[in-house]
Amino acid sequence: MTSGALAVHGGAPVRTAPWPRWPRADDATLRSVEEVLTSTRWAVSGPYDGRLSSERRFAGAFAAFNGVRHCTPTSSGTAALTIALQAAGVGLGDDVLVPGLTWVACASAVLHIGARPVLVDCNPRTLAMDPEAARAAATDRTAAILVVHPYCSVADLDAFVALAGALNIPLIEDCAQAHGARWRGRRVGSFGAMGCFSMQQSKLLTAGEGGAVVTNRADLADRLEQLRSDGRRFADAPVLGRLELVEIGDVLGRNVCMSELHASILLDRLQYVDDENAVRRVRAERLDAAIAATPGVTPLEPDARVTECTYYQFVLKLDLPTYGGAPIERIADAVSAELGIAVNPLHVPLDRHPLLSAGRDQLGGGPLPHAEEARRTCLTLVHPMLLADDAAMHDIAEAFTKLHRNRTELATASDSTAAMALSF
Ligand SMILES: *Cc1c(COP(=O)(O)O)cnc(C)c1O
């Protein structure tokens, strides 16, 4: 039991023990990278050396992991979204339904190909795009639905598959925050026409940067392959010492290929994703139990149709009056100081995002009252925290209890200007 002043005001913090490191690598990861470094094949666009490239091996392994036929690795999640939209035929003058509460790339990827993001409010229970709000926002200009599985939720895939079918437009799943999650027993990313992933540093599977698009459709896979490699396709029978990619040019591709180095890291780390997700689920249960007695903090309610839940970020909803009515940013700073790791509010609703707000007239949809309410009241715990031990889950609960005890101090405090450095 910690007493005394808040750590943000110089008191002793609740936790001084370190948090688990992220990203993770071990000797096998190093060997995997070394194998590429000591070879002459660093890129899919390099000469064929008689062996299957790491990129092809990762594509096969990641398709199998997701229970789909095809996978096209990319240089980033943003690149994955971009080529998926292009493969779906989305372009100039089209509208794409996009969640209002998500990472900015979901909207900027749409803008980059000349289409218009139409922002759709979230379901307050899951924080994912609300299917009824999406239905209401659809018009005859709507060319695709880009649904995101955010934080620790899966969007209502039953409703979105039905809506896309009724509108006769493609559903694209953004699974950048949900590697390994299952909806009714099936992996996310396999319900829509395509599923997009990011392997950026913060994600549940990472090589620092990276991405992938998965699909069951051979025609889309062929377009995706050309879109990401300057209109080239793998040769049926590669020749030793010659380039494996053949120039086709059916579509106007760019180079957003994943390098062999990145693919080799992902090939190694992919084998741990399910186990790490399972550990996080156990810790999340312990955390649920630990915060049950903590005043004014509730987790998101689980949806029974999510048969394997993943935690990119564990979301805590706060009753602000219990914390002196302090703004969420101040509570985030205070709890970060108690725990020695950055605890942040949710994404800024996209109509207020600095990258997009200047071009507000290029966005459709809104207002986003549920997204605003969630941004005002919720905090997120990053997934490496859920790889810590049970004592750490009690530290998290204790940090909030301490904030509650010090709610008068919290209510009257001026906001700290020191930005908290991410400690993982
Ligand atoms: C991280 C993320 C992206 C973008 O991925 P990058 O690899 O950073 O380009 C897109 N959508 C969502 C939901 C994300 O979380």
| pLDDT tens for each residue of 173-231 | 999 999 999 999 999 999 999 999 999 999 999 999 999 999 999 999 999 999 999 99
Across the strands, what pairs with 380?
Answer: 315, 344
211's tokens? 């991405």
Taken as a whole, the chain contains a residue count of: 424
Contact 124, 374 (CB under 8 A): yes
203 is an active site residue? yes
- Longest CA–CA separation in the chain, Å: 73
The Cα 17–Cα 56 span in angstroms is: 41
Q: Which residue has the higher pLDDT, 286 or 359?
A: 286
**Cα angle 233, 239, 244; round to 5:** 25
CA within 13 Å, CB half, 181: 33
Measured CA distances, 313 to 76, 89, 107, 299, 338 (Å): 20, 32, 21, 11, 19
Pocket, ligand 1, Cβ cutoff 6 A: 76-78, 102-103, 105-106, 148, 174, 176-177, 198, 200, 211
379: closest CA among 398, 355, 396?
396
pLDDT at 46 over 50: yes
In a 3-state reduction of DSSP, which class is residue 391? helix
**Mean per-residue pLDDT of the chain:** 95
Mutate to test the pocket of ligand 1, among 103, 197, 258, 355 (most ligand atoms within 8 A of CB): 103
Bridge partners for 327 per DSSP: none
Measured in Å, residue 105 CA sits from the centre of ligand 1 at 6
Q: 421 pLDDT exceeds 90?
A: no
- The answer to whether 100 touches 356, Cβ cutoff 8 Å, is no
CA dihedral 274, 279, 284, 286 (to 10 degrees): 150
CB–CB of 164/156 below 8 Å?
no
Contact residues for 112 (Cβ-Cβ < 8 A; gap 6+):
82
E strand map for 160-319: 171-174, 182-183, 186-187, 194-198, 211-215, 232-234, 245-247, 297-299, 306-308, 313-318
Candidates 332, 353, 320; CA nearest to 422 is 332
The pLDDT assigned to 3 comes to 58
At residue 360, the pLDDT reads: 76
Q: Which of 420, 353, 392 minimizes the C-alpha distance to 17?
A: 392
Mean pLDDT within 388-406: 98
Residue 10 has pLDDT above 90, yes or no: yes
pLDDT at 299 over 80: yes
- What average pLDDT score do residues 386-397 get? 98
How far away, in angstroms, is 278 Cα from ligand 1 center?
23
CA of 391 to the centre of ligand 1 (A): 31
Q: Given a cut of 50, is residue 1 above it in pLDDT?
A: no
pLDDT category, 413, cuts 50, 70, 90? confident
Q: What does the pLDDT look like over 334-363, one tens digit per residue?
A: 999 999 999 999 999 999 998 887 777 789
Query: Which one from 15, 70, 203, 223 is the annotated catalytic residue?
Result: 203
Burial class (CB in 10 A: 0-12, 13-18, 19+), 376: middle
- Residue keyed to tokens 């903590």: 294
Task: Tell me which of 78, 127, 151 to substitute to probe ligand 1's pocket, judged by most ligand atoms within 8 Å of the beta carbon.
Answer: 78
Helix (H, G, I), strand (E, B) or coil at 176: coil
Q: What share of the chain in percent tops pLDDT 70?
A: 97
Q: Which two tokens stand for residue 296?
A: 């004014």
